[in-house]
């Protein structure tokens, strides 16, 4: 049946959809990789209800009336005007209860764009696996249909006569003037499906992430540049994850180098399948939560369950999927050297109770300093632990492609023992006589051959949480790292209890099907790639999974009377 023959409703059916219930209660549809533009109201919906026709009426219907018996009534909260409309709504409700299709207002035009070929995930400590959808959905278009008068109304007879008389006009004019625009529209949809493909991924949580950004009119992929008043340091940030995209400091020769990993194409912060969380804020609870569950003191009989996203559902990493690293933050304020972002994390998001409003502040100061401050206010008791997930290479890949020759010094006397999947056991072990002893400055790669199993089962490298000295001064650096090749040195003053170090053991997957991550142009890219052990992640944070280890006497539960704070200052100099 042609597009014109299906007047007044033309619909190209898509049978490969999946329903999605968003947190705001609206039922949306997605199929494959969907980019949602909600200008006035766009819904993922599909209606397949058919008006029941009694035998007595069916005998007298014309072919056109039989074709028109498939109705798509407008969504309404009012009672149906007649029994046929009531039956249609009742039938739709039955289908919904039986697992069939639900619907919303079909007055909008919805386009389900086909997906790109599926990406394959690779696994390391910051990755999680998710199912990939490889089906290519057809395009679904809903045209607005005016409500028909009830058959019991006085004007129904003349209405049907008018429709019958206009049949010739519809057949001659619509096929001539509607078919061509419809074909052009479908062609445009096909073209757009390739143009906007980097914006979205086949996972429903990313569809919702982008939808929220569009609803709030956020340009989460815009690049925001700031610099210190004396020009000693400058950098750029993006709204997705409130992420640090680049940070330029001077080497010993006075040349600016970009010393953090990231993407030139900022849409990759949302859609890249490996999701290394380059420079992002991780939360609502950083690192791992054992068994994806916890209790809150005062609510001992209730177990809260967070979204598992690592090791086949055994634990939650960095707040679930999507965590704050893939959420669109709003720019609150900005000047030449300062920018702040905000995020509202809803009650129940990823299983965490209570609404949390957070503010992320970045400032570049004279003397080569980067100041970061994170605050969060919860409306009720909930665990909060944030961190800045920055990947560093102090050579900027110019003089060396490895960070293994960087020197690291940590004022940390203990490390948190973990099981084979990197979940804390509860033991705090001394670093003395272990490869994790960085109390004296040590070349990071000098003891890599001693780390087998230290970063998980069959793993070589570092992926460990250490505990700073309890009696250290908060005004002095808790750690320092430098490169003799570039001469760049980074010192960090922080108020956090500990630090996570990760030596980029598996940023490059051994699976040949997984595409490597191209370097930025500022780091000899994009034809060169980020390779294993070419960077190091330094995460200032609390004690991981402390909510499940009361023996540590660390209270990660925050509420109206206990706001959360995170403060760190990164100072860059040369040696």
Measure the CA–CA gap between 566 and 575, rounded to whole angstroms: 29
Measure the CA–CA gap between 561 and 393, rounded to whole angstroms: 40
* 8 A C-beta contact, residue 389 and residue 539: yes
The number of angstroms, rounded, from the C-alpha of 238 to the middle of its chain's C-alpha atoms is: 13
Active site (annotated) includes residue 312: no
SS3 assignment, position 178: coil
Read off φ and ψ for residue 117, nearest 5 degrees: -55, 140
Q: Which residues of 460-486 are buried (b: 16+ CB within 10 A; e: fewer)?
A: bbbbbbbbbeeeeeeeebbbbbbbbbb
Nearest C-alpha neighbor of 118 from the set 32, 28, 245, 26? 32
Which of the residues 127, 539, 549, 571 is marked catalytic? Answer: 539
Bond preceding residue 127 cis, omega within 30 of 0: no
* 8 A C-beta contact, residue 451 and residue 462: yes
Which of the residues 389, 406, 549, 558 is marked catalytic? Answer: 389
Read off the DSSP letter of residue 385: B
Measure the CA–CA gap between 467 and 459, rounded to whole angstroms: 22
Measure the CA–CA gap between 497 and 470, rounded to whole angstroms: 8
Read off φ and ψ for residue 213, nearest 5 degrees: -65, -40
Active site (annotated) includes residue 539: yes
- Residue 198, classified by CB atoms within 10 Å of its CB into exposed (0-12), middle (13-18) or buried (19+), is middle
Measure the CA–CA gap between 306 and 319, rounded to whole angstroms: 8
**In 52-106, which residue ranges form alpha helices assigned H by DSSP?**
55-58, 63-67, 83-97
Pairing of strands 256-258, 391-392: unpaired
* 8 A C-beta contact, residue 320 and residue 351: yes
- Residue 59, classified by CB atoms within 10 Å of its CB into exposed (0-12), middle (13-18) or buried (19+), is exposed
CB-based contacts of 59: which residues, under 8 Å, 6+ apart? none
Measure the CA–CA gap between 128 and 510, rounded to whole angstroms: 16
CB-based contacts of 173: which residues, under 8 Å, 6+ apart? none
* 8 A C-beta contact, residue 484 and residue 492: no
Measure the CA–CA gap between 520 and 258, rounded to whole angstroms: 9
- Residues written for the chain: 575
Measure the CA–CA gap between 454 and 110, rounded to whole angstroms: 50
Q: What is the CA radius of gyration of the chain?
A: 29
Q: Which residues are catalytic?
A: 389, 539
């Amino acid at each position: 049946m042609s597009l014109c023959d299906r007047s007044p409703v033309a619909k190209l059916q898509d049978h490969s959809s999946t329903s999605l219930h968003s947190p705001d209660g609206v039922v949306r549809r997605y199929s494959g990789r969907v980019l949602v533009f909600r200008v006035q109201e766009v819904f993922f919906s599909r209606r397949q209800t058919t008006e029941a026709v009694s035998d007595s009426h069916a005998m007298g219907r014309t072919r056109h009336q039989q074709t028109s018996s498939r109705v798509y009534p407008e969504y309404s909260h009012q009672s149906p005007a007649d029994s046929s409309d009531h039956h249609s709504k009742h039938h739709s409700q039955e289908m919904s209860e039986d697992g069939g299709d639900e619907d919303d207002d079909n007055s909008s035009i919805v386009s389900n764009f086909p997906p790109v070929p599926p990406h394959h995930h690779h696994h390391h400590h910051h990755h999680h696996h998710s199912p990939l959808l490889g089906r290519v959905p057809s395009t679904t278009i809903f045209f607005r249909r005016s409500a028909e008068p009830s058959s019991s109304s006085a004007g129904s007879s003349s209405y049907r006569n008018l429709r019958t008389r206009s049949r010739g006009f519809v057949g001659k004019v619509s096929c001539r003037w509607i078919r061509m625009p419809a074909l052009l529209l479908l062609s445009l949809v096909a073209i757009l499906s390739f143009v906007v493909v980097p914006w979205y991924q086949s996972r429903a949580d990313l569809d919702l992430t982008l939808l929220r950004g569009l609803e709030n009119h956020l340009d989460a992929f815009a690049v925001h540049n700031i610099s210190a008043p004396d020009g000693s340091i400058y950098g750029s940030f993006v709204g997705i994850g409130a992420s640090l995209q680049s940070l330029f400091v001077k080497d010993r020769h006075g040349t600016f180098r970009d010393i953090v990993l990231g993407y030139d194409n900022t849409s990759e912060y949302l859609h890249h399948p490996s999701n290394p969380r380059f420079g992002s804020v991780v939360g609502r609870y950083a690192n791992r939560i054992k068994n994806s569950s916890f209790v809150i003191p005062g609510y001992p009989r209730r177990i809260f369950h967070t979204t598992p996203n690592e090791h086949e559902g055994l634990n939650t990493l960095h707040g679930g999927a999507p965590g704050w690293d893939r959420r669109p933050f709003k720019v609150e304020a900005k000047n030449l050297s300062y920018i702040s972002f905000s995020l509202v994390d809803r009650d129940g998001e990823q299983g965490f109770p209570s609404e949390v409003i957070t503010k992320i502040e970045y400032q570049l100061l004279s003397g080569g300093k980067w100041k970061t401050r994170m605050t969060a206010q919860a409306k009720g008791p909930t665990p909060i632990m944030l961190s800045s997930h920055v990947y560093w290479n102090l050579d900027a890949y110019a003089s060396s492609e490895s960070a293994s020759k960087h020197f690291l010094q940590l004022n940390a006397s203990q490390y948190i023992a973990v099981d084979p999947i990197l979940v804390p056991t509860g033991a705090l072990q001394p670093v003395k006589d272990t490869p994790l002893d960085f109390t004296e400055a040590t070349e990071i790669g000098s003891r890599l051959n001693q780390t087998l199993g230290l970063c998980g089962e069959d793993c070589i490298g570092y992926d460990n949480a250490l505990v700073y000295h309890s009696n250290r001064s908060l005004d002095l650096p808790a750690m320092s790292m430098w490169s003799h090749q570039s001469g760049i040195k980074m010192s960090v003053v922080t108020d956090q209890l500990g630090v996570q170090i990760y030596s980029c053991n598996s940023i490059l997957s051994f699976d040949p099907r997984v595409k490597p991550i191209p370097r930025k142009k500022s780091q000899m890219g994009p034809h060169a790639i980020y390779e294993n052990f070419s960077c190091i992640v330094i995460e200032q944070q609390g004690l991981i999974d402390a909510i499940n280890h009361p023996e540590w006497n660390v209270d990660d539960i925050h509420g109206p009377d206990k706001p959360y704070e995170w403060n760190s200052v990164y100072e860059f100099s040369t040696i």
